[in-house]
Amino acid sequence: MRKRTPFALALLVAVAALVAAGCGGGGGSSNNSSSGGSSGELAADQTITLAWGAEPPSLDPGLATDTTSSNVLLNIMDPLVKLNPTTLKPVPNLAQSWDVNGANVTFHLRHDGKWTNGQPVTASDFVYSWLRTMSPDLGADYAYQFYGIKGAQEYNGCDPKKDNCTALKGKVGVSAPDKYTLKVQLVSAQPWFVQQVAHHSFLAVNRSTVEKWGEKWTQPGHIVTNGPFKLAVWKHDAAIDLAKWNGWRNAKDVKLERANGKIITDGTTAVQSFSAGEVDVNTTGIPPADLPRLKSEETYQKYPALGTYYYGLNVKNVPLGQRRALAFAIDRKEIIDNIAQADQVPATGFSPKGIPGFSAVKNDYLEPTADVAKAKQMLAKTPNAKKHINLFVNDAPGHKEIAIAVQAAWKKLGIDVTLKQMEWAQFLEFLGPPPNKTVDAYRLGWIGDYVDDINFLELWTCKSGNNNTNYCNPKYDALIAKARATKDNAERYKIYGQAEDMLTGPNGDFPIIPIYWYTYVTQEAPSVKDSFNVNLLDQFDLSKVKVVSS
């Protein structure tokens, strides 16, 4: 999913995962405490304060596309499965078990799930919610996540003026034969599918609430959820507070009573708030200038990640030869060493290091350092190259500094770059898809939704809701479709390698320029640092957090 902050991924060998946890907080959880961790006694006040790095653009599982929204949703909702923290294999959650028979998957739901309005959580809730996200009426960027389900792509692409959308909806392969059984028919056997449903887009929503309030159903006072926490406060652009919901099925195991959240988009402000004891966990990010100083402190935490920081290019504005030249002009190693400084890895392709099958996927066409001479040669062969480029970034820590370095690199090619910085929600709206016509280049990051490279490579298919580049190559789409239908891992990885080459190889289309593979960095108070964890997918589980006294 879209990543708002700049610092995250080093690698992973055996991919680890999705649960992890929390924060540190008010009343006895000050980050100035000299000791703590799991060996300490539970604090009397199980309240924490964290710095959210952005205003969530949406708390609708069907519309959310970013890591902030996802982290809120996965703490207030109850997914069918979670992922084991060390193996990334799916483990039972709201689904107590499941059966896989080729392209048919059956989930058996627990009988004790319920909504905050008292209604039971049933299989029909998932049928309604998934069909809602697939619906062409919702316009969900993540609708393509469901294309592995029989009939989903056809329903999502239906035109009410030409097609019988109701009939197409009835052909989608998801059904509830009884109250607690959810059946799914896939277009082919997909080894990653059960793991995939841990993603927030597969969460259920409460039908009666959505139908009553429409687009306003996620507002405080309206929203109905079914997870360990409930939305207590949402003051837009200021605060998001989550409170433990004692009606959740496993509430007795949740120690944390409240997670107060300040929306702090500026890295310097977030660091200052942490130093002053005003927040216990800083997830906003750390400005590059502060990293050398903070790395040696006990409260500095670095996590491996599965994601890619990249620049996207509007292919309708920037011709192919120039796109290749722009990619070779950037010195990735210099950006990491002098700006990002969180031990990221130079990205020579979009598929991240650590993804299963990486050795078969990677190519060595791009290099960690710049090749300005090669870039100039490419540009000289591009007669319609742009002399001026508009580069858009969002306002989280580090993006502007990286953009300035890229601006200087492209200046060596005789290209003038105008930087345009926006707050997160406005930035995403500007990128589309399709992007605003004034967008020539933009920065984004992609964090894995699940651990298979199709989740990265399918972004650049023609109808992907996260393809902000205007790139559309039917041959590329055909490769992704072939990969989706290939069950054998080794064979599928070979197809992924062909797709990666089509993006960033010697004859690549270069709709994107990989910059680095992420690591995640946070600041965590001693009172919570042993129970707050960030997994490879940039997710944290507040139900596992506990505040300990010094």
∠ CA 333-334-340, nearest 5°, is 90
Are both 348 and 206 inside the same structural domain?
no
* Domain stops at, among 192, 215, 238: 215
Is position 483 within any domain?
yes
Query: Which pLDDT does position 3 carry in this prediction?
Result: 55
Is position 314 within any domain?
yes
How many structural domains compose the chain? 2
With CA atoms as reference, report the closest residue to 205 among 135, 263, 255: 135
Span 241-284, pLDDT tens digits: 999 999 999 999 999 999 999 999 999 999 999 999 999 999 99
What percent of the chain stands above pLDDT 70? Answer: 92
Are both 500 and 353 inside the same structural domain?
yes
Token pair in block for residue 482: 């072939």
Exposed, middle or buried, 237 (CB in 10 Å: 0-12/13-18/19+)? exposed
Are both 181 and 308 inside the same structural domain?
no
Q: At what angle do helices 372-380 and 320-329 cross, to 10 degrees?
A: 170
Measured CA distances, 56 to 48, 66, 258 (Å):
19, 8, 19
366 DSSP 8-state letter: S
Query: Which pLDDT does position 40 carry in this prediction?
Result: 76
Query: Which pLDDT does position 114 carry in this prediction?
Result: 97
Query: Which pLDDT does position 1 carry in this prediction?
Result: 65
In this prediction, residue 426 has a pLDDT band, given cuts at 50, 70 and 90, of very high
> How do beta strands 388-394 and 416-422 pair?
parallel
With CA atoms as reference, report the closest residue to 511 among 415, 419, 444: 444
With CA atoms as reference, report the closest residue to 503 among 455, 433, 435, 456: 456
Alpha carbons 278 and 338: distance in angstroms, whole number: 29
Alpha carbons 499 and 28: distance in angstroms, whole number: 52
Is 503 a residue whose pLDDT tops 90?
yes
CATH number of the domain encompassing residue 507: 3.10.105.10
Alpha carbons 180 and 72: distance in angstroms, whole number: 26
Is 9 a residue whose pLDDT tops 70?
no
402 φ, ψ (degrees, to nearest 5)? -65, -40
Written as one string, the DSSP assignment of 68-136 is HHHHHHHHHS--SEEE-TTT--EEESSEEEEEEETTEEEEEE-S--B-TTSPBP-HHHHHHHHHHHH-T
Helix, strand or coil, per DSSP, at residue 391: strand
The domain of 324 spans: 303-519
Alpha carbons 284 and 251: distance in angstroms, whole number: 28
**Torsion angle (degrees, nearest 10) of CA 447, 346, 367, 308:** 10
Are both 368 and 499 inside the same structural domain?
yes
Is position 492 within any domain?
yes
Phi-psi region of 56 (alpha: psi -120 to 50; beta: other; left: phi over 0): beta
Is the pTM here over 0.95, yes or no? Answer: no
Is position 349 within any domain?
yes
Query: Which pLDDT does position 32 carry in this prediction?
Result: 36
Is 324 a residue whose pLDDT tops 80?
yes
- CB neighbour list of residue 390: distance below 8 Å, 6 or more residues apart: 417, 418, 420, 438, 439, 440, 441
Are both 441 and 325 inside the same structural domain?
yes
Q: How many residues does the chain have?
A: 550
DSSP H helices in 485-532: 489-504
In this prediction, residue 304 has a pLDDT band, given cuts at 50, 70 and 90, of confident
Token pair in block for residue 414: 């005789």
Are both 329 and 204 inside the same structural domain?
no
Token pair in block for residue 324: 């290749």
DSSP H helices in 185-277: 193-196, 207-213, 267-275
Helix, strand or coil, per DSSP, at residue 385: coil
Are both 418 and 322 inside the same structural domain?
yes
Is position 160 within any domain?
yes
548 DSSP 8-state letter: B
| Section 523-548 average pLDDT | 93
Span 451-486, pLDDT tens digits: 899 999 999 999 898 999 999 999 999 999 999 889
Span 110-155, pLDDT tens digits: 999 999 999 999 999 999 999 999 999 999 999 999 999 999 999 9
Q: Which residue has the tokens 């966990």?
A: 281
Are both 307 and 210 inside the same structural domain?
no
- Sheet holding 104-109: strands in order across? 95-101, 104-109, 181-185, 174-178
Is position 538 within any domain?
no
Token pair in block for residue 545: 């957090």
Is position 118 within any domain?
yes
Span 14-59, pLDDT tens digits: 333 322 322 323 333 334 333 333 457 999 999 999 999 999 999 9
Name the helix (H) or strand (E) containing 174: strand 174-178
Is 85 a residue whose pLDDT tops 80?
no
Query: Which pLDDT does position 307 carry in this prediction?
Result: 93
| Section 507-534 average pLDDT | 95
Query: Which pLDDT does position 25 carry in this prediction?
Result: 31
Name the helix (H) or strand (E) containing 304: strand 300-313
What percent of the chain stands above pLDDT 90? Answer: 81
Q: How much is the mean pLDDT over the chain?
A: 91
CATH number of the domain encompassing residue 197: 3.90.76.10
Are both 210 and 359 inside the same structural domain?
no
DSSP H helices in 182-230: 193-196, 207-213
Is position 148 within any domain?
yes
Alpha carbons 290 and 299: distance in angstroms, whole number: 13
